[in-house]
Structure 1
Amino acid sequence: MAMHPLSDTDIGDIHSQLRELRTEHHDLDLVIAHLIDNPPPDELLIRRLKKRKLLLKDRIFLLEQMLVPDIPA
């Protein structure tokens, strides 16, 4: 995958996005655990939150990969 090198501003923006996404991911963990532990759980809401959490995890992974420098083959 050939991409131009990231500028310091790009890297800072990615780190900022990662912090926000990781915080939201962690917050979703807490909300899901609370909903599960306090019956009756809202199964539809829990499924939606878990789906959002997975989407965040995927986005975090993609951003982290953007920070890995290209190594020539």
Structure 2
Amino acid sequence: MTTQTTTRPTSPLALEEAKDAVIKLKSIKPFLTRADEETLGILIDKELVSNLSKSLSEAQRGEYEPLESILE
């Protein structure tokens, strides 16, 4: 799993929550499958999640490109 660099939390509560999350992840890491690690990697990538959400919304509205036109 790759490490993501994010902006520093501005409040003490946010810093404490981030610290707790890291401790929890370290404790469960030995039990994570490769798929779990990939899922976590996606979920912590805010830009990727935003793009996925936008794409899903567009698809629900019928705004998508046929695969054939993408592969041409």
Report if TM-score (shorter chain) is over 0.5: no
Q: Which has the higher contact order (CA 8 A, sep 6+)?
A: 1
Bigger helix fraction: 1
**TM-score band w.r.t. shorter chain:** 0.3 to 0.5
